Amino acid sequence: MKLKHFLLYSEKDEGIADVEKNLSFQSRCITALYEECFNEFYTEYIKQINVFCVNDSPKPTLTIVDGFCHVEINYDTNNFFKLDDQEKKEVVLDILKQGINKVVKLNNWESAPFDAAYLCVKEANYQNEYVWKKPKSSPNRNYKAEVKINHDLYSCEIYLVVKDKYGQEIVNKLVSSTKPDEIIFSYFLGELKWLSNYEVALFNKPKSKYASVHINEDVFK
pTM, whole model, 2 decimals? Answer: 0.94
Q: Distance between CA atoms of 166 and 40, rounded to whole angstroms?
A: 36
Tell me: the pLDDT tens digits for 55-112?
A: 989 999 999 999 999 999 999 999 999 999 999 999 999 999 999 999 999 999 999 9
Assign 3-class secondary structure to 128-150. EEEEEEEEEECCCCCEEEEEEEE
* Per-residue pLDDT, 221: 30
| CA distance readout (Å), 140 to 195, 198, 212, 217 | 12, 9, 18, 12
Cα–Cα nearest to 136, from 144, 125, 128? 144
Q: Would you state the pLDDT for residue 156?
A: 98
